[in-house]
Amino acid sequence: MDRQTLIQAAIKVLPDSYVPYSHFHVAAALLCKDKSVYTGINIENAAYSPTICAERSAFVRAVNDGHREFEAIVICGGKEGVLSDYCPPCGVCRQVMREFCNPETFRVILAKSVEEYQEFTLKELLPLGFGPENLG
């Protein structure tokens, strides 16, 4: 799957975000090793801590369906759902990615549009990540 198609998948679900407090919409599209795609949106909660980010939302859906191997994720977002800048993942989301993804090869794509994006490896965004092998 090409980057533009994955970016379009994230942008398509951006309006579905539930953000009555911050009004900051975030969407993600997660590419599994078998080339299936799972999207996620941020879902806010009045108590704040139960809020879930778009990235984790996508991972939860994919893992629930039995997926454990992933290639890339696109993340996009903006105030009132308007894409205006890059939207990097929070620390908690980076750690969830680290649980399931090879930090050397997993790609994190931050998109402002289909044409304008930045791409990183997970290791670049989480250089000293704690993973399952640390518990072995």
Token digits of residue 83 = 């894409």
From the candidates 44, 55, 80, 124, give the one annotated as an active-site residue: 55
Residue whose token pair is 């997993």? 106
Token digits of residue 130 = 């704690």
In the residue annotation, 55 being an active-site residue is answered as yes
Spacing of C-alpha 126 from chain mean position: 14
DSSP string for 49-114:
TT-B-HHHHHHHHHHHTT---EEEEEEEEEETT---S--PPPHHHHHHHHHHS-TTT-EEEEESSS
Residues with catalytic function: 55
